């Protein structure tokens, strides 16, 4: 599988726009377009590549430039684990082992709790809240993980976890800790707006 290392964690069913400008990746994308082949997006950060990634399928070519650059849109497919990297070509390729994502069983109350938490987060962020967006999603963990205030390390941990139940439990724990911090910040912002000044900023440091 051709590899595209990026400073991003990409999830199954996620859509991502990419600007392709490096010669080796222009060649890689052209090969994928001609053959219908997929490629793998893998987190690359501080000189290190993650051992897991997500297969990407090109869904649209948004724009082609005269110098060969491209804007494309890709969609996440299967997760994979890298078995061996090959460096003998213009771009990296790898032998990969795909995850078995067929088991999506999860406790209903846990799934509903995660959705409720995510809706609350979106509301605090001023986003449009649409409860129906979760209804037809088989793996709601991946839908929520890319927009839940996770660090790259936390996103990578979600990508590594084997089952939907494990991923949802991880996200519920994260949001249980993250939401109160977001609410505290939003409460301060409302206070600033209503007072018209920031006399008491910054807030007192917490002890401990």
- pLDDT score at 137: 86
CA nearest to 141, candidates 173, 182, 180: 173
pLDDT in the model for residue 197: 46
Q: Which residue stretches of the chain have pLDDT < 50?
A: 196-208
Instruction: Write the CA distances from 23 to 27, 34, 131, 156, integer angstroms.
Output: 6, 17, 43, 28
Which pLDDT score, from 0 to 100, does residue 130 have? Answer: 85
Structure tokens at 171: 């996200």
How many angstroms separate the CA atoms of 106 and 104, rounded?
6
Please, where in the chain does CATH 2.30.130.40 lie? 3-98
Structure confidence by residue, pLDDT tens digits, 153-171: 999 999 999 999 999 999 9
**Which tokens is 147 given?**
């927009």
The CATH architecture one would assign to domain 3-98 is Roll (2.30)
> What local confidence, expressed as pLDDT, does residue 188 receive?
60
Q: What is the pLDDT of residue 202?
A: 46
Count of alpha carbons within 13 angstroms of residue 194, beta-carbon side: 6
pLDDT on residue 191: 59
pLDDT of residue 19: 97
| Residue 184: per-residue pLDDT | 87
Q: Is 165 helix (H, G, I), strand (E, B) or coil?
A: helix
Predicted pLDDT of residue 207: 47
């Amino acid at each position: 599988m051709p590899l595209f290392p990026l400073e991003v964690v990409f999830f199954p069913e996620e859509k991502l726009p990419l600007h392709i400008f490096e010669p080796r990746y222009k060649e890689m994308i052209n090969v994928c377009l001609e053959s219908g082949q997929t490629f793998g997006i893998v987190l690359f950060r501080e000189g290190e590549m993650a051992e897991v990634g997500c297969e990407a399928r090109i869904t649209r070519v948004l724009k082609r430039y005269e110098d060969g650059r491209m804007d494309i849109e890709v969609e996440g497919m299967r997760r994979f684990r890298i078995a061996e990297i090959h460096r003998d070509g213009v771009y990296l390729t790898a032998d990969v082992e795909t995850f078995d994502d067929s088991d999506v069983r999860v406790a209903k109350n846990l799934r509903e709790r995660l959705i409720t938490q995510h809706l609350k987060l979106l509301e605090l962020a001023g986003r449009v809240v649409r409860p129906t967006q979760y209804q037809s999603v088989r793996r709601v963990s991946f839908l929520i993980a890319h927009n839940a205030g996770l660090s790259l390390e936390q996103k990578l941990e979600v990508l590594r976890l084997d089952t939907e139940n494990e991923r949802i439990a991880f996200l519920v724990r994260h949001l249980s800790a993250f939401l109160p911090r977001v609410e505290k910040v939003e409460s301060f912002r409302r206070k600033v707006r209503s007072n018209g000044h920031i006399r008491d900023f910054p807030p007192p440091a917490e002890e401990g």
